Structure 1
Amino acid sequence: MKILVTGTVGFIGFHLARVLLERGDEVVGLDSVNDYYDVNVKYGRLRETGISPEDIEYGKLIQSSKYENYRFIKLKLENGENLQKLFEQEKFDRVCNLAAQAGVRYSLENPRAYVDANIVGFINILEACRKSEIEHLAYASSSSVYGLNEKMPFSTSDNIDHPVSLYAASKKSNELMAHCYSHLYSIPTTGLRFFTVYGPWGRPDMALFIFTKAILEGRPIDVYNYGDMKRDFTYIDDIVEGVKRVIDNPAKGREDWSGMNPDPGSSIAPFKVYNIGNSSPVRLMDFIEAIEKAAGKQAQKNMMPIQPGDVPATWADVTDLTEDLGYRPNTPIQDGVRRFVQWYREFYNV
């Protein structure tokens, strides 16, 4: 297939593009290459896919030197006109939209960035898919949409009307917008609520990266909610396997869906939302212990109250994804953390 993957300089998009390329798909990668976090990590990901950062020009397709079936374009999703031209020129079969302004805490500081990238950008994606008759749009949502919900595990059948950050609200907006387009124009859309993804080439603004860096440098780490946190940490390879299966299986409308008892995670339209996580929450202190073991050093801990926009626990119910597509994450937290720390040492030569 010919697939557009947006956010290919990002963590998940980078790994997904490589897996799709290695199985023989033709991929066009798109990213704005913004400076939300250390661009050296982004440049490193580009080089790993055969794209020289020095060759990049805004709006220009660059051929990979490593993969003959990969090209990359620097483009903002907010630029609807150029995005539409790309769709018309390339005639994609399917689209996986992973580009977004990420980060819960940053959304408290710069809310407009989330409206621009996550809402304006997403409507541009939907419009381009509509006009180009795309076979399937898969897109990134987030476990953050569950907000104040305390019912565990989180299910796609749960109400998500109480987000606690603008980031979460923007992701819920994406799901609502996607349903409109599935209903009005019969575009198959599948949303993916990611649960705390980690692994090699991970984001520098995430806990694993921050903790590993501080521990190896002998600096203290801030442990929020006094360590009383649980996260459904999900290894990147397991995430990508799930995304790949979703791309390959366009959403279908459910004939038994009822407006008298509406299920939020599905529809009579070709619309579906999946949780994509490990379905096995890990205590934050156990996570830190795994990093200490992999790094061979003890962490100095600053115990802190919970941060605005954070939730104390996440836990994914992935029953739908398992039953529909055979998704079964199988990477133990100790193995995943060890692989990340090994990558970190190699990348930063420490």
Structure 2
Amino acid sequence: MALAHEGTILVTGAAGFIGYHLARRLLEDGCSVVGIDNLSPYYDVRLKRARLARLAKWPGFRFTAMDLADRAAIGELFSGARPAAVVNLAAQAGVRYSLHNPHAYIDSNLVGFTNILEGCRHHGVEHLVFASTSSVYGLNTSMPFSVHDNVDHPLSLYAATKKANELMAHSYSHLYRLPVTGLRFFTVYGPWGRPDMALFLFTDAILGGRPIELFNNGNMRRDFTYVDDIVEGIRRVIDHVPAPDPRFDGAMPDPGISSAPYRLFNIGNNRPVELLHLVEVLEQALGREAEKLHLPMQAGDVPATCADIADLASVVGFRPDTPIETGVPRFVEWYLEEWLPLRKAGVMPAMAAAAAS
């Protein structure tokens, strides 16, 4: 079923990092895209507006500034757009920020997601795809992390709200037979990324002659996943509408499948990388050596992540395959050729200022 070519696709969080890349890919494929975003000042809004300016070049793109928590506005949006599929990428992100502003996560990730579910329920949406996160694995230490594992021990409110999204989506899928797919993303990076993420912060610090901060003394391993791989996975999942799985056994319930039209997939590179190796690759791409500041582990963080992508590969037919040796130089090329000129023109602030906003 080629939903992406049969009707409008609603992309929430279209001004965000992944939302921008997905909307652009859909538009390049000839799809009609309605994008919404509340343009939250979690990081500098000028970056979000710069992404939107690029999307506005496509005649098939319509954008409305809108908050997911605005129930009436979301209802009107669904009534007018009548999307065939919805990709919910809007959320309050960030593990550490959830320690300081928990209400932002409740409003966006819980209240807002409820409004999306209701919109899909009442307006005949054929497939809801929503972003979850590798953070739901929390205290799990058995790796690679599998969607068939229990994930009841989150370490941050951010992770707890995303696990709640998975439960909420399953209940709607069961009650209303709404086809839903949840995608657990693993450490996404690439051009036009978020300025609070490590690669942006490291690049800005190295070029600015400042030390980079390595938490847990640099003893971290992450399943760094290039944004184009994330977008390819989402793009394929949109057209892969889930059905009830006859293997589901209520006596021994498997978290990764359901008797409802509901599925979960990890999207990660399946190749965890030492943080210090990421820094080495970045140093090579920049031609500069980083000054390193070793710090203790941060609250809510985990020392390692690794995605089991067997289900994604077998069901959807896709495996992310971009190594950091390819992805990091692409990011640096974009940073030097596109990002720095914008900053020098006064369009964008320095990353340190953006991350602090």
Alignment partner, residue 13 of structure 1: 19
Q: Distance in 2 between matches of 1:109 and 1:2?
A: 37
Decide which of 306, 328, 342 is 2:319's aligned counterpart: 328
> Any residues of structure 2 matched to 1:154-173 within 5 Å, and which?
154-173=145-164
> Structure 1, residues 251-305: CA drift from partner, whole Å, max 9, x if none?
1110121001111111000011100010000000000111111111100000011
Name the SS of the counterpart of 1:8 in structure 2: coil
Q: Distance in 2 between matches of 1:124 and 1:81?
A: 9
- C-alpha RMSD over aligned residues: 0.8
Alignment partner, residue 263 of structure 1: 254
Alignment partner, residue 209 of structure 1: 200
Alignment partner, residue 352 of structure 2: none
What residue ranges of structure 2 are gaps of 5+ in the alignment?
1-6, 345-357
Q: Distance in 2 between matches of 1:3 and 1:45?
A: 18
Q: Distance in 2 between matches of 1:238 and 1:257?
A: 29
TM superposition shift of 1:345: 1.4
Name the SS of the counterpart of 1:157 in structure 2: coil
Decide which of 73, 76, 79 is 1:85's aligned counterpart: 76
> Structure 1, residues 34-83: CA drift from partner, whole Å, max 9, x if none?
11012222121111112xxxxxxxxxxxxxxx211110010000001110
Decide which of 166, 177, 182 is 1:186's aligned counterpart: 177
Query: What is the aligned-residue identity percentage?
Result: 59
Name the SS of the counterpart of 1:210 in structure 2: helix
TM superposition shift of 1:27: 0.4
Q: Distance in 2 between matches of 1:239 and 1:117?
A: 22
CA contact (8 A) 2:10 2:85 kept: yes
TM-score after normalising by structure 1 = 0.95
Alignment partner, residue 50 of structure 2: 44
Name the SS of the counterpart of 1:139 in structure 2: strand
Deviating 4+ runs (over 6 angstroms): none
> Any residues of structure 2 matched to 1:1-350 within 5 Å, and which?
1-50=7-56, 66-346=57-337, 347-349=339-341
What residue ranges of structure 1 are gaps of 5+ in the alignment?
51-65
CA contact (8 A) 2:27 2:61 kept: yes
Q: Distance in 1 between matches of 2:158 and 2:319?
A: 28
Q: Distance in 2 between matches of 1:14 and 1:223?
A: 29
Name the SS of the counterpart of 2:167 in structure 1: helix
Specify the code of the residue in structure 1 equivalent to 2:87: C
Q: Distance in 2 between matches of 1:227 and 1:23?
A: 41
TM-score after normalising by structure 2 = 0.93
Name the SS of the counterpart of 1:292 in structure 2: helix
Q: Distance in 2 between matches of 1:157 and 1:314?
A: 16
CA contact (8 A) 2:267 2:320 kept: no
> Structure 1, residues 223-269: CA drift from partner, whole Å, max 9, x if none?
00011100000001111000001111111110121001111111000
Q: Distance in 1 between matches of 2:148 and 2:119?
A: 29
Q: Distance in 2 between matches of 1:80 and 1:245?
A: 30
Matched residue pairs, number? Answer: 335
Name the SS of the counterpart of 1:141 in structure 2: strand
Specify the code of the residue in structure 2 equivalent to 1:72: F
